[in-house]
Amino acid sequence: LNKERQESLSTDSTSVEKQKKLKELNTYLGLTDVTGSGIIITVQDNTASKFVTSKDLVHDADLRAIVSEIKNIGADAISINGQRIVSSTAINCAGAIVKINEEAIGSPFVIKVIGNGDLNYNLTRPGSYIDKLRDDGIKVDVKPSDNITIEKYDGVLTNKYIQSVE
């Protein structure tokens, strides 16, 4: 496009609104870095036990349960050991490690959460999954933070199951 046309497009109010909406959607999809206040949760295997059993280890199901609780509370963004959690994220067991977004990750698991101020209470209340893990001897540390940065998802989002509705 010529320079005049580009300038008119960039100043068009509809174009500005569309760019703003696109930025908002990319943030929602996890395609942009985000910064804000929230909490940092560190979940670590119980190594204090004389004989380490399966109950002493953090499993993929534990991470899925924590992420589920975080999502139910209404967090804006979540990452585990630098892996952004998006709608297509898989958290699976891979032997002695856990795979998140197909990346092998081991304990300790650092979960960064950006969201409202009630996150800490809601995630550590009696009966929460974190409370259950602590009862089982898993080390869980929850700290509020005013300056958390969660990096964007660097994988490929696919849409093989969705269709446009006319």
Give the model confidence (pLDDT) of 79-126 as tens digits.
Answer: 999 999 998 899 999 888 899 999 999 999 999 999 986 777 788 889
Q: What is the 3-state secondary structure (H, E, C) of 55-123?
A: HHCCCHHHHHHHHHHHHHHCCCEEEECCEECCCCCCEEEECCEEEECCEEECCCEEEEEECCCCHHHHH
Location of structure tokens 């101020």: 117
Q: Can you give the pLDDT at residue 70? A: 93
* Residue 53 confidence (pLDDT) above 90: no
Q: Which tens digit of pLDDT belongs to each residue from 56-73?
A: 889 999 999 999 999 998
Which percentage of the chain shows pLDDT scores above 70? Answer: 92
How much is the pLDDT for 116?
81
Distances (CA, A) of 70 to 45, 46, 102: 20, 22, 21
Q: What is the pLDDT of residue 100?
A: 95
Residue 156 binned pLDDT confidence (cut-offs 50, 70, 90)? confident
Q: Tell me: cis bond preceding 144? Omega within 30 of 0 counts.
A: no
- What is the pLDDT at residue 10? 55
Banded pLDDT at 31 (limits 50, 70, 90): confident
Answer with the residue of higher pLDDT: 166 or 63.
Answer: 63
pLDDT, position 128: 92
